[in-house]
């Protein structure tokens, strides 16, 4: 690390580690990995609730019901109100919710659209690349011969290759690892793990671009995306997907590049806006 980050640049997982291991607050009423009951409301308990509530979001399905949303909203409001009290901040207690500024809404929408590509479209592309090159059964055999190299969670996902003969449970980190570890496609021009140059255009190069793009947004400390950055990012998305459409001989009218254009321009209604926190959390879920 060349320099220490500012407070606004610190990601939440690092903040929690600092708080916990530097003993900046008293020990919680129960162990750190145990959710506190409703009677424990010290600041450390609220920090633990933040951790558990964040994990709840990460494990939600794609379709979030109104009941789940309202439950989540109630938890967050309670946590925030108690933390405001701890910090001697004025909590909002009015009957209407204060509106976000136009800039905050635009930043959130731009980040959500980028996250939509990363969370939904890119995993589909990586799975399709694997499926084009190798059958699920043979891939499972390769994995089972090296079973001890995979985590328990990865093993559960890989078992779907045998049971359902599909790749649907392969997320970006696992799909990338399989492509790289078993040489399913030719390695990128600049080798695995290194950013491709602007002119590198092989399938392996684009898989590396997907990984670097995903990591860039996963490691951000905020969701502030300028219009210029948004346009540049989507231009890169379209270039990647244009080449992938050629790789798969996709119809231009229904291929991946068309999906990117649709994601960029689809009107953001209230239902989609409610998914912004979920998309943002899922972008950050895995580190590669």
Q: What is the pLDDT of residue 6?
A: 54
Which DSSP state fits 185?
S
For residues 23 and 28, what is the distance between their CA atoms, to the nearest angstrom? 11
What's residue 124's pLDDT? Answer: 94
From first to last of its 288 residues, what are the pLDDT tens digits of the chain? 455 555 455 555 566 677 767 667 777 767 777 777 777 778 888 887 887 777 776 555 555 677 777 888 888 888 888 888 777 765 544 444 555 677 877 888 888 899 889 988 999 999 999 999 999 989 999 999 999 999 888 898 898 888 888 888 888 889 999 999 999 999 999 999 999 999 999 999 999 999 999 888 877 777 889 999 999 999 999 999 999 999 999 998 889 999 999 999 988 765 555 555 555 555 555 445
Mutual angle of helices 172-181 and 203-218, in 10-degree steps: 140
Angular region, 95: left φ>0, alpha ψ -120 to 50, beta rest: alpha
- Interatomic CA distance for residues 200 and 177, integer angstroms: 21
CA separation for the pair 205, 185 (Å, rounded): 11
Tokens matching residue 254: 């229904």
pLDDT at residue 223, as a whole number = 80
Asked if residue 77 lies in contact with residue 58, where contact means CB atoms within 8 angstroms, the answer is: no
pTM for this structure? 0.66
Q: What is the largest CA-CA distance in the chain?
A: 61
Please provide the DSSP assignment of 216-229 as one string. HHHT-SS----HHH
d(Cα 10, Cα 222) in Å, to the nearest integer? 9
Rg, Å, the chain Cα set: 21
CA distances from 140 to 127, 165, 175, 287 (A): 14, 9, 13, 23
User: Do 112 and 275 meet the contact criterion of CB atoms below 8 Å apart?
Assistant: yes
Report the chain's terminal Cα–Cα distance, integer Å: 18
Report the alpha-carbon distance of residue 211 to residue 201 in Å, rounded: 15
Nearest to 216 by CA among 123, 288, 125: 288
User: What single DSSP character describes residue 89?
Assistant: P
Cβ pair 197, 189 in contact under 8 A: yes
Q: What is the DSSP letter of 35?
A: P
Distance CA 200, CA 243 (A): 11
CA distance 214 to 102: 26
Nearest residue to 118 via CA among 288, 247, 253: 288
DSSP state, 138?
A: H
The pair phi, psi for residue 102, each rounded to 5°, is: -60, -40
């Amino acid at each position: 690390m060349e320099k220490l980050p500012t407070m606004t640049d610190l990601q939440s997982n690092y903040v929690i580690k600092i708080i916990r291991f530097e003993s900046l607050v008293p020990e919680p009423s129960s162990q750190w990995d145990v959710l506190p009951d409703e009677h424990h409301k010290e600041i450390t308990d609220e920090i633990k609730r933040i951790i558990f509530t964040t994990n709840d979001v990460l494990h939600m399905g794609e379709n979030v019901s109104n009941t789940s949303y309202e439950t989540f909203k109630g938890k967050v409001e309670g946590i925030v109100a108690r933390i405001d009290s701890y910090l001697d901040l004025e909590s909002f207690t009015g009957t209407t919710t204060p509106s976000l500024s136009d800039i905050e809404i635009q930043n959130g929408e731009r980040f959500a659209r980028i996250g939509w590509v990363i969370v939904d479209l890119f995993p589909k592309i990586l799975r399709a690349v694997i499926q084009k090159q190798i059958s699920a059964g043979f891939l499972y055999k390769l994995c089972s011969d090296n079973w001890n190299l995979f985590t328990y969670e990865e093993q559960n996902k890989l078992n779907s290759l045998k049971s359902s003969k599909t790749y649907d449970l392969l997320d970006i980190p696992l799909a990338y690892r399989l492509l790289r570890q078993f040489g399913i496609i030719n390695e990128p021009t600049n080798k695995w793990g290194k950013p491709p140059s602007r002119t590198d255009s092989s399938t392996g190069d684009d898989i590396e671009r997907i990984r670097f793009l995903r990591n860039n947004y996963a490691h951000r400390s905020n969701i502030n995306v300028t219009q210029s950055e948004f346009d540049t990012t989507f231009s890169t998305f379209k270039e990647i997907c244009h080449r992938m459409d050629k790789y798969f001989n996709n119809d231009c009218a229904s291929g991946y590049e068309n999906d990117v254009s649709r994601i960029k321009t689809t009107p953001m209604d209230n239902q989609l806006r409610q998914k912004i926190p979920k998309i943002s959390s899922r972008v950050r879920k895995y580190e590669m």
